[in-house]
Structure 1
């Protein structure tokens, strides 16, 4: 066990800025934002209660109690937003966006959160991980999240099928090999994109990231808050960058964590840098396994990490040729093939190092012929509903006949190189074909740009090796937003919260509460836990200061999160 210092915030560094009369003025460096925000979110004793509904002075919303998280009140509301935020009077149609808030101290500002996706639910995120986030952030903020337009409980919800029964009947195509299955996918997708357009009608045109960014202003206005405090993860970083570019004068504290390259997202048909570190993370699994010895079951397979990787990839090649039949009983049996293990087991494991020990144990069993656990965990998945994700991604990007040739061979010529650039080439073939054939016209004119001056510089968070949002993408944001700072956690995983790091938590708190930025453009933080722990080893490190210990425990729990919305890859 090791003792660590209390949670001191890093020394304040005021960035050198060009004066800009259009920006709202910042408070002095010594003034805490909590004090500055008392006018934004008045204390509870100023509120009205009527039949369980609560309203707060300065807000235009009614809130209903909807639970409790970590002894904090959870309240829910909803807001109608124009179908087109950038031309609100053109139609009387709206999206209904549900809101959830975990209350901090009275008079606190609202910290808006987005978990990623696209397609991640803010409701589900706060219910699942609100306790840990509250501990990491502290009680000086209300945690506010939402289901973005078209997502989860937002209405209308993005869908390409009028009913779930229709999805079960129509939503299936054999899509394993782009060359063998290409003609079938090509034909099937023509029907699929027509169904997406017909099912959603006019609303389908406006499910995109710039519209959601504008919705965030509607939410901010409804809670009576001028300045945006935001922490976005994965796809949430794209939303954060889009917001900061569109509304720089309101971007007071914007944190982006696990960064998407917005220039590729909005401007390229096929991304090129999203997977540059994916194999490095896989190598990290094998390196840390061998380094940990008996603490990692897979270490028995080989003496070096290179040999371990070779053995594992050889086994995967065998699965390509011959799937494994697994029989447990008359109601539970199935096949384990390459697709299920590589994209259902290996790839998700790279997101969360906390999964590595269990993954190593299951793979050691699998390599030795015991496939029961792997079948139960990876082989019986009924698939996911990606409709909302497709709407956002394809409405954002260059999609459809205006940007893609429409014949099958031209499509194959364009996308085939993506299958050669990484062991983790796209597994979602339908998405590539849908991008070619997408019928919904692009309705936004957002263009990413460099040199954006925000009300306060952005804080950019990343790990050294992220499987889908690499360090190079974080650096693209660093170059786009003036005076922004990057904090790199020297480890593996998707987003900084994939691994516990008290150093990282200090930077987050210092930034949120008083605008503290690291002195240099790029700063590094260590990981506080080993990736594999020997039996009998203390589960968590010990910290001298109680608050540090609580934050560390919260980070450890957050790192165990079994699910993190993924960014779809092209």
Structure 2
């Protein structure tokens, strides 16, 4: 992963000049006035009888609106997009703090439906905020983007040999070609910087001078970019599952192999204790041997799992995607999936359980093509990737020697190798953000080392550590009373803890 170019400072200056105040220094009119002062029409979030998200929002007292933003902020009079938002208004109006905007990660994740559970996690503090969910540009209910992919994810394992890597390369090139074919006219504008600009339009349209912000995972990077591009526009900032901006690029999973191996071992120990329920082995090593056996079988030929064929490029992704939540239900779902894959490897007829069926549907069909399309478009549009396949092949070989299961996955080639160069330089993130950072020590997605790096770079920040959990995203998700109390205290008072906070995970 590379750092950011010094020339990004020039791009940042240009971004700040795009009408972030009512008038320019010369008195020229703000080109974004019609966006900043637009009237929002609040309405029911329910879109039909099967709209469970809308029903949950309605039950929580939320309403929804569409915010109009420019496709290209350099041409605000041109084509426009809609960004869908939801809002649960503050009920303690006498002590109202303001609006709290949310982003749950991805990139490409839908956040419109998040205010009810975030509001619940905030307890009494939530009564003092307008809690606002946002589906970022091209996501969910906002103006859509769909490259018509045969998968919901760009990620694959390159397999065990050069032939597998060559197939992976051809697959990545095909995905990039499809995006250019179907969405080439908007791809230059699918970026984090433009999403941050949209956030500031939302802020203004809500009538807020400043906003507070809660971002998970990729949402932490979005928060870093927004606070840098629009200094003085944030109040209280919480970043949970922290991305080190110096390591943010299309290959952001590189370096996560050790954390994922640790999480896999912890899950295997959990499954071994529950061998009567799952039958994967009575020891951690026995369970890990089952995982290795599945991969070797997939290398010999695709495993038949219901209507799906799981080959060596997909089997490691199932394991990788099973390792982000450190709790009994998630561990149980993953254990059932491994049991199904083991039976398929043994030649048995298998009907996949619910979690595995959903995962294979995501990886092997186009049912969630939009998610993969947007996620990849943002990553490729933000930071350029190496273009020579041989770079990836060398990295795969080196990583395979260290971890033959996860190393090839995290170092494999992707569509960004075949993407047009980003239109803007990445944002050089400010170093004086007084944010509250939250991370688990065993986080297999945004590793704890990233949170430590950001904390070192931001002397005014505080770090809340959840020790002993292989958990990605903590506040309101994991169930740590200690973490939730630290975050809610900051949101309630606006005062960061006097010192860093360390919490201990609840044992299984």
Q: Same fold (TM over 0.5)?
A: yes
Measured after TM superposition, the shift of residue 212 of structure 1 is 0.8
Q: Which residue of 2 aligns with 1:555?
A: none
Q: Does the aligned pair in 2 maintain the 1:234–1:495 contact within 8 Å?
A: yes
1:355 to 330, 352, 365: 330
Counterpart secondary structure, 1:146: strand
Q: Which residue of 1 aligns with 2:60?
A: 72
Distance in structure 2 (CA, Å) of the matches to 1:125 and 1:463: 21
Residues 1:502 and 2:489 aligned together:
no
Q: Does the aligned pair in 2 maintain the 1:105–1:139 contact within 8 Å?
A: yes
Map Cα deviations across residues 34-85 of structure 1 (whole Å, 9 max, x no partner): xxxxxxxxxxxxxxxxxxxxxxxx9842211325648532111111112233
Measured after TM superposition, the shift of residue 152 of structure 1 is 2.2
2:256 to 267, 270, 274: 274
| Cα separation, partners in 2 of 1:207 and 1:374, compared to 1, 3 Å | same
Residues 1:83 and 2:71 aligned together:
yes
Counterpart secondary structure, 1:372: coil
Q: Does the aligned pair in 1 maintain the 2:157–2:312 contact within 8 Å?
A: no
Distance in structure 2 (CA, Å) of the matches to 1:365 and 1:64: 45
Measured after TM superposition, the shift of residue 343 of structure 1 is 1.9
| Cα separation, partners in 2 of 1:300 and 1:235, compared to 1, 3 Å | closer
Distance in structure 2 (CA, Å) of the matches to 1:135 and 1:253: 17
Q: Which residue of 2 aligns with 1:473?
A: 450
2:490 to 511, 520, 534: 511
| Cα separation, partners in 2 of 1:215 and 1:346, compared to 1, 3 Å | closer
Q: Does the aligned pair in 1 maintain the 2:72–2:189 contact within 8 Å?
A: yes
| Cα separation, partners in 2 of 1:174 and 1:364, compared to 1, 3 Å | closer
Q: Does the aligned pair in 2 maintain the 1:150–1:388 contact within 8 Å?
A: yes
Counterpart secondary structure, 1:476: helix
Measured after TM superposition, the shift of residue 279 of structure 1 is 0.8
Map Cα deviations across residues 439-458 of structure 1 (whole Å, 9 max, x no partner): 2x3222333346x223xx10
Distance in structure 1 (CA, Å) of the matches to 2:139 and 2:229: 22
Alignment of 1:330-369 (within 5 A): 333-337=307-311, 339-345=313-319, 347-353=321-327, 354-361=329-336, 363=338, 367=342
Counterpart secondary structure, 1:509: helix
Q: Which residue of 2 aligns with 1:154?
A: 142
1:301 to 276, 281, 284: 281
Distance in structure 2 (CA, Å) of the matches to 1:207 and 1:195: 15
Counterpart secondary structure, 2:131: strand
Residues 1:229 and 2:212 aligned together:
yes
Distance in structure 2 (CA, Å) of the matches to 1:493 and 1:174: 23
| Cα separation, partners in 2 of 1:263 and 1:463, compared to 1, 3 Å | same
Counterpart secondary structure, 2:219: helix
Cα-Cα RMSD: 3.5
1:196 to 179, 183, 192: 179
Q: Which residue of 1 aligns with 2:422?
A: 442
2:128 to 125, 140, 146: 140
| Cα separation, partners in 2 of 1:125 and 1:371, compared to 1, 3 Å | farther
Q: Which residue of 1 aligns with 2:80?
A: 94
Unmatched tracts of structure 1, length 5 or more: 1-57, 162-166, 327-331, 532-570
| Cα separation, partners in 2 of 1:131 and 1:518, compared to 1, 3 Å | closer
Which TM-score applies when normalising by structure 1? 0.68
Q: Does the aligned pair in 2 maintain the 1:113–1:232 contact within 8 Å?
A: yes
Which TM-score applies when normalising by structure 2? 0.76
Q: Does the aligned pair in 1 maintain the 2:213–2:236 contact within 8 Å?
A: yes
Unmatched tracts of structure 2, length 5 or more: 1-36, 46-54
Q: Does the aligned pair in 2 maintain the 1:275–1:470 contact within 8 Å?
A: no
Distance in structure 2 (CA, Å) of the matches to 1:249 and 1:227: 7
Distance in structure 2 (CA, Å) of the matches to 1:136 and 1:313: 48
Q: Does the aligned pair in 1 maintain the 2:383–2:425 contact within 8 Å?
A: no
RCO greater where, 1 or 2, for CA within 8 Å and sep 6 or more?
1
Q: Does the aligned pair in 2 maintain the 1:234–1:469 contact within 8 Å?
A: yes
Q: Does the aligned pair in 2 maintain the 1:102–1:130 contact within 8 Å?
A: no
Distance in structure 2 (CA, Å) of the matches to 1:484 and 1:208: 26
| Cα separation, partners in 2 of 1:301 and 1:433, compared to 1, 3 Å | closer
